[in-house]
Every structure is written in structure tokens, then in C-alpha cells.
Amino acid sequence: MQKYKKIIKGNALFLDRDGVVNVRIDGGYVRTADELVFLPGAIDAIARLSAHYSHIFIVTNQQGIGKGLMTEDDLALVHRKITDAVDSAGGKIEHIYHCPSRKEAHDFCRKPNIGMALKARRDYPDVVLKKSVMIGDAASDMLFGRRSGMQTILVGEWPEIARQHPSLVDFSFPTLADAAKAICEE
């Protein structure tokens, strides 16, 4: 762990959604805006991080759509709640990318594949993935970041991920708020 001495700032920050920005529903999906509960400090953390990165993106697998449990319109309302909260806190999320495919489809857009990173780079030509950071709470997020050439930050109470996959994790913090504090004070 900690292949880098400092956390990269400046270019793009990629964030996983469930378990990083909002509470993950174990065994389920955030299907409506009413079901979305922000993790403590997450919105303020994104607002603080907006001063340190040219772009902030959310990249999220949303197979609930592929399973017919929610629609694209339902997801758009969930994402609107996130962007409105971040905007109100003085931050900015440039774009939220999602992959609606089911896991078994092995879709290139689904993390840990790098389709969403490549789409962000295509949509925002100044994004340099090797100068970007991925923050997530799962091994698939860390693998997505590493495959994309990004620095990776693991958040949450998942020490086994760092132990089992040390080459995937550059830094680890309990929460997004803790990661933001380290980045902003560095």
C-alpha cells in the first residue's frame, strides 16, 4: 500500500457512489430519491474537494435497472438529489456515469472494467487518467482505478480489501470526509 507519497490533486476525481457518498443498502438498491441517505460529511467533503480537482465524477454500477427494479428516470432523480446537495454546499459534480447492466452481462461499462473512465476522458478531453484519483469502497473500485491508471483511495471499514489486494490500494481512510481532510490539508 501507499505506492505514492502524496495524493494527486488537480485533474479529475472519480467517486464511487454507494458506500462512499451515500449509505449502501445491503442486498438491495437505492431505487428512489427518498431511499438515498447521505453518509455523514460526504456532501461537505465533495464541496471541499471541488477546490482541488478540475473535475469530479461519480462512477456507479446500477444493475437494479438491468434487473427491472428501477428505471433510468428513477436513477436520474436519485442523482439529481446528489448534485443538488453538492451544489448547495458550494461544490460541483461534473457528471455522474452509471452502468445499468447486470453483473453477468460482463459489460465493458461495468466496474471493474474501465468503460466509464474512458467515457469521461472522451467527454472531457482535458482529463488525464494518470493524473486522476479514484475513491471507492470495494475491490472492484480499486481495480477500476488501477486499470484506468489512476491513484486509488479505499474508504470504509474494509481492511481485508487492503490486505488481500495491497497492490490496488494507494491510500486508505475510514470515510470520504477523512480522505477529503487529508487531501485538502496536504
Please confirm, yes or no, whether 107 is among the known catalytic residues.
Answer: no
| Catalytic entry in 18, 44, 137, 141 | 18
Distance CA 177, CA 162 (A): 19
- Report the alpha-carbon angle 46-50-56, nearest 5: 80
> Smallest Cα–Cα separation from 140: which of 169, 102, 172, 171?
169
Q: For the chain, how big is the Rg over CA atoms in Å?
A: 15
Evaluate whether 91 touches 81 at the Cβ level (below 8 Å).
Answer: no
Distance CA 116, CA 113 (A): 8
Evaluate whether 154 touches 129 at the Cβ level (below 8 Å).
Answer: no
Q: Which residues pair with 14 in a beta bridge?
A: 57, 134
Please confirm, yes or no, whether 137 is among the known catalytic residues.
Answer: no
| Catalytic entry in 16, 44, 137, 170 | 16
Q: What is the DSSP string of 154-180?
A: EESS-HHHHHH-GGG-SEEESSHHHHH
Could you give the residue numbers annotated as active site?
A: 16, 18
